[in-house]
Amino acid sequence: SSSGGGGGDDGGKKCSGSRNSGDESDGDHDGVTSKTPDNYLPSLILNGCIMMGLSVEYSIIMPSLLSYVDHLNGKAIGFALALSVFSLSSAVSRPLAGCASDSLSFRTIYTVILITVIVGNILYSSAWWLGSMSVLVLGRMLAGVGGGSIDLAMVYTTRVTHQKDRTTWIARMQIPRMLGMLFGPCFQSVLSVLKLDKSSLFG
């Protein structure tokens, strides 16, 4: 009877050790582990800056998109297409980015997404001088992939913070996004006052 109880205790310890091991490895993926947030503070700040940049880009481009399309003689269908491909690529890239980051390198997926967004915005800008509506639409489609980076930034925040203050850090990471939505229109207003009419980036 006592040996049976001892075996049960040993089994319980093993199970407990297994659970503890699982807890310690929770969030461990591609070299990212749940440690003190201060250890990852530079990375969290960088993620915040990236999210702010994407918000600034979105809030600058959207108000000026219609006039940009008119300049390229794209008419209403061109405007609708530019909006649609951006939303579609964002909707598709988000789940794909999440699935890919679970099986592939998190940093690689994140980097590929950011490079794709940069190329998309370069194409969007080039459409002004090329006079091509197709280039504009392609640029907006590639830029829409940036939606996946926002989700990955939240995943990264979850992985590197403790459970007790995880919600606080996720809320903090939303601040740069909101600031970007504020700074974008302000920046565009300043450029409008300066009458930089030939800038394809700012309408």
- Give the pLDDT confidence score for residue 145 in this predicted structure: 87
| pLDDT tens digits for range 86-128 | 989 988 888 888 888 778 877 888 888 889 999 999 999 888 8
Token representation of residue 114: 């950011």
Q: Which residues have C-beta within 8 Å of that of residue 7, sequence separation ≥ 6?
A: none
The CA distance from 100 to 151, in Å, is: 12
Q: What is the pLDDT of residue 139?
A: 92
Question: What's the pLDDT score for residue 173?
Answer: 84
In DSSP terms, 32 is beta-bridged to 29
Beta strand segments in 40-157, E: none
pLDDT of residue 31: 44
Low-confidence ranges of the chain (pLDDT < 50): 1-34, 196-203
pLDDT at residue 20 in the model: 42
Q: What is the pTM of this model?
A: 0.68
On whether the CB atoms of residues 45 and 156 are closer than 8 A, the answer is: no
Separation between Cα atoms, residue 184 and residue 201, nearest integer Å = 12
The confidence score (pLDDT) of residue 195 equals: 56
- Euclidean distance between the first and final Cα of the chain, in Å? 82
